[in-house]
């Protein structure tokens, strides 16, 4: 999701940040002690995010794990509070937090990609619970998966709507075709849904 950095105020830690952010109309993240405002998402970004939540929810049904949307934050230390597009936890949520996330998904946008690949990814690796970090293109079916193995993180790239993303620690696989359903730029075709004809009932 697109982001803009705020110059002020200076906040000491996540507690200060949460108190400052409470009740504000905008959505903010706290990245290494700096304020980052979340801007509106593009159609592609929104479609991929919602599709990913739906695909995870369907496959995790009946398990102790569940997906969370972009309003569920992830805290890392004293100076980082992120709002990933999607996360999966296998523990009951605690207020605004996604507890011990197993999977974090970020849908890339030009404004946020630098942080998603850089400082946020470095900090996400500090989470002992995290098994997967998944980056998804918003305009084309491209997925980059970082999987935690016995000897560190393993990088795998998936391309095309026929690919599947294996998440063995969760016992599921995500079909790219579902993640990119109705995303015209990704599919290269018109979306399956259509606006109602004039005069037609919704």
| Per-residue model confidence as pLDDT tens digits over 94-138 | 666 677 899 999 999 888 899 999 999 999 999 999 999 999 999
| Per-residue model confidence as pLDDT tens digits over 152-178 | 999 999 999 999 999 999 999 999 999
Average pLDDT, the chain: 86
d(CA 96, CA 102): 17
The residue extents of the domains of the chain are 41-186
pLDDT band at 198 (very low <50, low <70, confident <90, very high): very low
* Confidence (pLDDT) at 202: 37
| Per-residue model confidence as pLDDT tens digits over 70-92 | 988 999 999 999 999 999 999 87
**Listed residue (87, 96, 173, 184) closest to 141, CA to CA:** 184
* Confidence (pLDDT) at 102: 97
In the block, residue with structure tokens 């990814």: 121
Architecture of the CATH domain 41-186 = Alpha-Beta Complex (3.90)
CB atoms inside a 10 Å sphere around CB 19: 10
* Between 157 and 15, residue with greater pLDDT: 157
Give me the half-sphere count of Cα atoms (radius 13 Å) on the Cβ side of residue 135. 18
Please give the helix or strand (H or E) that residue 54 lies within, else none: helix 43-60
* Between 40 and 104, residue with greater pLDDT: 104
Mean pLDDT in residue range 28-44 = 84
Whether the CA torsion 190, 137, 112, 84 is positive or negative: it is positive
* Confidence (pLDDT) at 10: 79
Answer yes or no: are the C-beta atoms of 68 and 99 closer than 8 Å: no
């Amino acid at each position: 999701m697109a982001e803009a950095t705020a110059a002020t105020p200076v906040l000491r830690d996540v507690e200060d940040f949460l108190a400052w952010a409470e009740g504000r109309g905008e959505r903010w993240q706290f990245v290494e002690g700096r304020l980052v405002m979340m801007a509106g998402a593009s159609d592609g970004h929104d479609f991929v995010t919602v599709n990913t939540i739906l695909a995870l929810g369907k496959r995790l049904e009946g398990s102790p794990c569940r997906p969370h949307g972009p309003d569920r934050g992830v805290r890392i230390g004293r100076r980082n509070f992120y709002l990933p597009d999607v996360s999966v936890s296998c523990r009951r949520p605690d207020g605004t937090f996604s507890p011990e996330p197993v999977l974090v998904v970020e849908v890339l946008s030009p404004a946020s990609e630098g942080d998603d690949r850089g400082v946020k990814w470095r900090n996400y690796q500090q989470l002992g619970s995290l098994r997967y970090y998944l980056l998804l293109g918003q305009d084309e079916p491209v997925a980059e998966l970082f999987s935690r193995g016995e000897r560190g993180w393993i990088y795998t790239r998936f391309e095309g709507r026929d690919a599947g993303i294996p998440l063995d620690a969760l016992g599921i696989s995500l079909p790219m075709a579902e993640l990119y359903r109705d995303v015209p730029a990704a599919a290269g075709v018109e979306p399956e849904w259509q606006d109602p004809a004039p005069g037609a009932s919704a």
